Structure 1
Amino acid sequence: MKGKELWANFSKGLIIENPILVLALSLCPALAVTTSVETSLAMGLCVTFVMTLNNWVVSLVRNFVNPKVRAPIYITSIATIVTVVELLLRAFSPVLYKALGIYLSLIVVFAIILARAEVFASKNTPLPSFVDGFGMGCGFTLAMVLIGGIREVFGNGTILGYTVLPSSYQPALIFILAPGAFILIGYLVAAFKMLTEYLEQRGEAA
């Protein structure tokens, strides 16, 4: 596969098919763990690792899996990788492990991971599947950090724990609450919709 095709597989997950802001998949963590950049980035990196590795594994075994039992096989693969991630975080970063809480275990049922396994990895060779999973994971992480950064700045007046707004600023606590996250995600989805339409029109014009 040519480098240009691999780049197309990777880059589509950043904007055109962004898992959260375009496909509207796995919104649960986007609401629950994006109160700060730190937890947003941690969840994004965990999902990226799981999705990338799972896509690669699914692609490797796709010819040996009976189509009737492919979903349980894929979920077993995801659950195994998530368990490894949980054990590593628990051993090396217990504070972060505690901050992510139950949502770390729920990565197993994130729709975007199973969707990429079914739609792409089960139909393609290991390298493009790996790149697709990594690109989608990066797009997921980008969206999570964007949401988390805005919520932390306007909800706490900080970024990564450092004060970035004047002491006179009164934090808008709605950004820390679920309703604020819903509103913010709605605006970001609209913004990404405009951006994707612009990129599509530019591509057609070219």
Structure 2
Amino acid sequence: MSSEYRRITKDGLWDNNIVFAQALGLCPLLAVTGTATNGLGMGLATTVVMVASGLMISLLRGIITPQVRIPVFVLIIAVLVTLVDMSMNAWVHDLHKVLGLFIPLIVTNCAILGRAESFASRNTVMKSMYDGLMMGIGFTFALVLLGAAREILGSGTLFDNAAQLLGGWARFIEFTLIEDYKGFLLIILPPGGFLVLGFILALKRLLDNKFAERKQKAINSISEFQPES
């Protein structure tokens, strides 16, 4: 993997993560992450839109004039979201009913339009698709992590009803972690989403600081062994 693709991977998954670094897409993040299953479904739908929009906008970047680029980008994203919405309604109808209005609202996710403007409109098709994939996986990771934390603390389960919402293939990821658990209602409700997200953001900040300290120590140790000129 070239250094360019490694940078794109690191940006999408960690350094420039849509949720943990940019704090975008918080509306669906907090609304649908009552369970990890809902987060996974919403994340995969968003990932498909991001990859497809990167493909389309990169292909058309030489045709779209700067004066109309934003309306055209929004139109392309809206068409793709509509196709994803109709596909989910046809093939994963139960999940579609659970996510409801938040699937069409993918159009308003600033992260998708932002990547279209800052990356896909300026790079090759392969790089744009890969950037969309990494950003989508990073967003999915954030949704699943928050949903899993809220589901475990709130209900004592993990990926509950995954087989019903995603299909029979997902039955193997369903777990009951705490038998006869009475539940923690606050975590399942919207305020719980803010609380859990706050703790996750704080943890990421601590990890970033640790990584920065280790990197600085490594640089200092290397400089100590270098002979002075």
More off after superposition, 139-148 vs 11-20: 11-20
Q: Which amino acid is the alignment partner of residue 191 of structure 2?
A: P
* Contiguous gaps of at least 5 residues in structure 1: none
Say which SS state the counterpart of residue 166 (structure 1) adopts. Answer: coil
User: Residue in 2 aligned with 1:100?
Assistant: 99
Structure 1 CA distance for aligned equivalents of residues 110 and 48 of structure 2:
15
Could you tell me how far 1:192 is from its partner in structure 2? 1.3
Aligned length: 204
The equivalences for 1:51-62 within 5 A come to 51-62=50-61
Could you tell me how far 1:122 is from its partner in structure 2? 1.2
Does the aligned pair in 2 maintain the 1:40–1:144 contact within 8 Å? yes
Q: Greater relative contact order (Cα 8 A, min sep 6): structure 1 or 2?
A: 1
User: Residue in 2 aligned with 1:30?
Assistant: 29
Structure 2 CA distance for aligned equivalents of residues 196 and 82 of structure 1:
34
Could you tell me how far 1:197 is from its partner in structure 2? 3.2
The superposition leaves residues 44-66 of structure 1 with CA deviations (integer Å, 9 ceiling, x where unpaired) of 00001101110121111112111
The superposition leaves residues 136-190 of structure 1 with CA deviations (integer Å, 9 ceiling, x where unpaired) of 00000000000000111111111122321132x3311111111110011111111
Structure 2 CA distance for aligned equivalents of residues 123 and 203 of structure 1:
31
* Contiguous gaps of at least 5 residues in structure 2: 161-174, 220-229
Structure 1 CA distance for aligned equivalents of residues 210 and 133 of structure 2:
25
What RMSD over aligned residues (CA atoms) do the two structures have, in Å?
A: 1.4
The equivalences for 1:71-110 within 5 A come to 71-110=70-109
Could you tell me how far 1:129 is from its partner in structure 2? 1.0
User: Residue in 1 aligned with 2:167?
Assistant: none
The superposition leaves residues 60-93 of structure 1 with CA deviations (integer Å, 9 ceiling, x where unpaired) of 1112111111111101111111111111111111
Q: Which amino acid is the alignment partner of residue 133 of structure 1?
A: G
User: Residue in 2 aligned with 1:50?
Assistant: 49
User: Residue in 1 aligned with 2:165?
Assistant: none
User: Residue in 2 aligned with 1:166?
Assistant: 179
Does the aligned pair in 2 maintain the 1:149–1:159 contact within 8 Å? yes
The superposition leaves residues 104-151 of structure 1 with CA deviations (integer Å, 9 ceiling, x where unpaired) of 000011011001111111111111111111100000000000000011
Does the aligned pair in 2 maintain the 1:41–1:144 contact within 8 Å? yes
Structure 2 CA distance for aligned equivalents of residues 170 and 155 of structure 1:
9
